[in-house]
Structure 1
Amino acid sequence: MSTAMPFAAGTTLLSDVTAAVRAAGAVLRDRHTPHARGVSTDGIVGEIHANDDAVLEVLREPLLRSRPGSRWAEDELAGGALPPGEWWVVDPAEGNINHVHGMDDWAVTATLVRDNRPVLTVVHLPLTGATYTAVAGGGAHLDGRPLKASAKTDLAAALTGTGQARPGEDERTFRRIGDSVTAMLVNGLVVRVSVPATLQLVHVAAGCTDAFWQFSDVRSGLVAGALLVSEAGGTVTDLTGAPWNAGSRDFLAAAPGLHAAALEVLAPIA
């Protein structure tokens, strides 16, 4: 569990947020098809926006109402620090590109961020019904069962992962991703390169995989997983080893016994 100061939200807020995210997940589930939708780039983008709009219509107001005074981070692909205070960082269709291509790995996420640190999160996978939750200082859970990060200490035995954060990243970021995958293939066991980030990070929190890194700072893909991993006993930093927050430019979440070794491999590439 994280040693961060507990977030005194009580169980009511978590219950309210969970209910809102599950209701939004039902909307997204009903929009899912077993085949790809959209052939051109414009068609795919249109389907993605339609998913977002449908989910936000049922998710935004319940979340804002659940935490009076909180604000809404409008751009789900934005990065960088938020102004002081409490913000909802939401991805109405985390893994939207997978959803519109008829695949199964997508979710709805909602995270309350206070002064650039996530303090409460809910990640719901509508097709399986699985719900991951975490509250700062209160642990991480899957459907009420505690999560615990991997106990591995040998990077050579590690299953790790990374991926791009948004379409059209700059060429330098793509080259860093490629270099980092090569470096981790040399030093680790297996590297998964996939999107979305959150669905890799829930596996790090659950101890099923051992580390995840990302060179982009898109906050909606990182805040939920960062809290889940840290509350499950993992270590979350940037690629200099400093504690991560929403203003950090890169990201590493790892099992505590592997974090230093993963950082040694990745820091020269950052």
Structure 2
Amino acid sequence: MEDEALGNTFRRLMLSLMSFDYVVVFAYRGKERPLDLFSTFNAKEHVLFVSLYQAGPYLLDPFYHAACAPKPGVWRMRELAPDRFFSSEYYRTYYVQTGLAEEVGFFVPVSGQVTVVLSLMRREATGSFSAAEFALLKKVEPLVAALVRHHWADLDRRFDAALAKTGRNRRKATHPPADGVWRHLNLTERETSIIELVLQGHSSESIGLKLGISTGTVKVHRRNVYRKLGISSQTQLLSLYINSLGH
């Protein structure tokens, strides 16, 4: 079954249960560019939700990090988001443009490295998924997972093909790949770890807990990074990140 046919089968199944505005299906493998398997966006929406997202912002997405963990099952965005996600510059600058009230995802690992995420999205006018609707999604999760594992089992091959193509074209690129932005900006490994968590929406306290260092040490590293990069705010940090990706 081809991507479009399987995506539409999933969409029709979900519509038989509840209403929503969009469906998008991505496959993730490490820091590689996600594969766009299916979506219901128009051309303008596709640029924001898919093309721009694939260029680098996916590295800051809670769904991406849950896919890499992996965390199988059905999850609401707010269950996976860091403690400061909804006040982060990534949320204010990028995610808020989507106009979504809520996003819910089916997370299905299909190999040792690849996880497929099937997202249902509701715009603000539609409102969030109710507790009863979310419970229903959990009940159908085994069926969705079986469908995905049966028809999208060979995605490693497609990732390998995309990676080979990227390698051939890399010397023509005018900007670094998404996973090389921080090296391009000459940050140390520790600085990179901290600044990635900052942009994902973690507070200094949350970063300290994740990395096993004190909150004070986190703040010192953040100040050093800002000084090294010649910036003074998270707004400038995100702008520098996006510009380094060539956008």
What TM-score bracket applies, with the shorter chain setting the length?
A: under 0.3
Using the size of structure 1 for normalisation, the TM-score is 0.26
Using the size of structure 2 for normalisation, the TM-score is 0.28
**Greater share of helix residues, 1 or 2?**
2
Structure whose alpha-carbon radius of gyration is higher:
2
**Greater share of strand residues, 1 or 2?**
1
